[in-house]
A and B are shown apart, each in its own frame.
Chain A
Amino acid sequence: MVVALSALLAPWLSPHDPLEQDVLLRLASPTADFPLGNDSFGRDILSRILWGGRVSLYVSTVAVLVAIVVGGALGILAGYIGGLFDRIVMAAMDVLLSLPTLVMGLLVVAMLGPTVGNLILAITLTAIAPFARIARAPTLTVKERDFVEAGRALGFSNVRLMVVHILPNVVDDILVMAALWLATAIRTEASLSFIGLGVRPPTATWGGMIREGFENILDTPWLAIYPSLAILVVMFGLNMLGDGLRDTSDPRLRHE
């Protein structure tokens, strides 16, 4: 939460322009004015971390939201309609799953070019399949239940049955996955930026900052360490959130 807030408020919180360069302060140690020091272009590291968080969170959140909507819809449709449609959709999902997240991201961005839109597309593609799977499983059991049958007898449309009666039963599982996949998405975005396929410099991103720091790791290791810590805090928080959500949503674990 703190990280999300600080990323949202970056324009007001950060003491300096993340792109402002000061040659005199090149690789300077921390001072009261620049609490985390300056990077190799004399830019304020704290401001860059705050601004970098905006890019990471924006890309990852949009990607996961799109993946939830598309994947969730595909999963519910596949589970509800069943038959051939179900088999085709799930086979397509298996194909998507068969390329590792990072390799898939690498290839999409490398082929289409490193823009924010393509980054989002790459991460979305890798996240659709797991959401489709997680939405399909409960749909299969819920659609056989009496209340859905009753709805059908009352002449409700298929769309209404899916949205009003099946969706709420699927949402819990999706939320747990969302927290974990947001972490994965942030990791993928940072990894791609680290390889040099992220949003182009001079825009600050965490992965890109670590990359710049890594190039000078023998002399100025802190350049790589501060953004690393920022990523770690976010990932740790999201994983805890995911775990917490799972524990509360799974009654079997609650009673143990």
Chain B
Amino acid sequence: MLTYIVKRLLVAVPTLLAVLTVVFFFVRIAPGDPAFIILGDQASQQAIAAVHQELGLDRPMLVQYLDFMSTVLRGDLGMSLVTHRPIWSEVANVLPYTIELTLTALVIGVVLGLPLGIAAARHRNEALDYAARVFSLLGLSFPAFVSAIMLLLAFAIELHWFPVISEARPGDPLSRVSALVLPAINLGLIMVAYVMRVARSSMLGVLGEDYIRTARSKGVPARVVIWRHALGNALIPVVTVVGLYLGVLIGNSVLTEIVFNRPGLGKLIVNSLNQRDYTMLEGLMVIYAFIIVIVNLLTDLTYGLIDPRVRQR
């Protein structure tokens, strides 16, 4: 297992470096001079040159690149162009909200999706299976902001069960929970649809294998066959989808945060877009890249954990 972990790490590091390189060049080729954003359109030539010097934009591209990489890898993301506070502290302020939201959605998705998918596979072509399939197709069809608006309309505006604006008051843990419920359900239900779909189809595939038939013919009870014999093999595609879907989840959390007016990375992105805060956007891209690379690494490690064959390769 240890060699497997080391191998995965050796793959993750170059991927991260490549993504950071893309981020760097992406921001450089974008039109719009950050100096104009700081100084306004009427700025004099000297003022612009001064800002360029301050931001280090007058140096050769290669020097800028090496400087960018070394500061980022030291964990320094620079200052926001607009608020002039360190980007890292702005991100740290809202990151817990986004993490809390995505993790709750993830738990809802796995806890509901996995058993439902397995149940649908066991009762193939029965009413439960059809209901599950229609639900999962619906879940795949809902853009996150559409489902968020509908939940908001139904439960906050019509029924008044939850606050319309998910604002958690400091020192009041209950308000934080009630602010989390609707956004988490919104993301969680879409996640349930993905997990259920894959759990069902991979369970169906495994149940058709010879060793399952052998176990059944030996008289092993159905429950034991499903949970002890089949589940291990059926889980592998589920882990893939959960890992892949975490990326979608992060994207969808942007939309959910906007609709429910919730603090988080998503709102930070949209605000910095509106203010054309380029250093902040660059920092956020770096953060997202880190998150995704870490998620991919964890997904790979989970494979190794549930499937001993993967470790050998």
Tell me the A residues contacting B by CB distance below 8 Å: 91-92, 94-95, 98-103, 106-107, 110-113, 183, 187, 190-191, 194-197, 210, 214, 217-218, 221, 224-225, 228, 231-232, 235-236, 239-240, 243, 256
Contact of A239 with B141 in the complex, beta carbons under 8 Å: yes
A-B contact pairs, 18 of them (CB 8 A): A99-B247, A99-B289, A100-B248, A100-B250, A103-B250, A103-B254, A106-B254, A107-B26, A183-B140, A190-B146, A195-B270, A217-B153, A217-B157, A221-B157, A225-B153, A236-B141, A239-B141, A256-B208
> B292 in the interface, Cβ–Cβ < 8 Å?
yes
Q: Give the residues in chain B near A101, CB-CB below 8 Å.
A: 247-248, 251
Contact of A194 with B288 in the complex, beta carbons under 8 Å: no
Closest to A237 in B: B141
Contact of B289 with A98 in the complex, beta carbons under 8 Å: yes
Task: Tell me which of A106, A194, A225, A231 contacts B269 (CB under 8 A).
Answer: A106
Q: Give the residues in chain B near A100, CB-CB below 8 Å.
A: 247-248, 250-251, 288, 292
Alpha-carbon distance between A229 and B137 when the two chains are bound, in angstroms: 15
Nearest Cβ in chain A — how far from B104, in angstroms? 18
Tell me the B residues contacting A by CB distance below 8 Å: 14-15, 18-19, 22, 26-27, 30-32, 137-138, 140-146, 149-150, 152-153, 157, 204, 208, 247-248, 250-252, 254-255, 258-259, 269-270, 273, 281, 285, 288-289, 292-293, 296
Contact of B288 with A103 in the complex, beta carbons under 8 Å: yes
Contact of A228 with B19 in the complex, beta carbons under 8 Å: no
Contact of B254 with A210 in the complex, beta carbons under 8 Å: no
Residues A187 and B143 in contact in the complex (CB < 8 Å), given A100-B250, A103-B250? yes
Q: Give the residues in chain A near B250, CB-CB below 8 Å.
A: 100, 103
Q: Give the residues in chain B near A183, CB-CB below 8 Å.
A: 140-141
Q: Give the residues in chain A near B149, CB-CB below 8 Å.
A: 210, 214, 217, 224, 228
Residues A210 and B247 in contact in the complex (CB < 8 Å), given A91-B18, A106-B273, A256-B204? no
Closest to B29 in A: A111
Q: Give the residues in chain A near B150, CB-CB below 8 Å.
A: 225, 228
Sorted nearest first, the 7 A-B pairs with minimum C-beta distance are: A102-B251, A111-B30, A235-B141, A100-B251, A100-B247, A236-B141, A228-B146
Contact of A195 with B258 in the complex, beta carbons under 8 Å: yes
Contact of A98 with B293 in the complex, beta carbons under 8 Å: yes
Alpha-carbon distance between A98 and B14 when the two chains are bound, in angstroms: 12
Q: Give the residues in chain B near A191, CB-CB below 8 Å.
A: 143-145, 251, 255
Q: Give the residues in chain A near B22, CB-CB below 8 Å.
A: 95
Closest to B265 in A: A103
Alpha-carbon distance between A107 and B283 when the two chains are bound, in angstroms: 12
Q: Give the residues in chain A near B140, CB-CB below 8 Å.
A: 183, 235, 239
Nearest Cβ in chain B — how far from A92, in angstroms? 8
Q: Give the residues in chain B near A106, CB-CB below 8 Å.
A: 254, 269, 273
Residues A99 and B19 in contact in the complex (CB < 8 Å), given A214-B259, A232-B142? yes
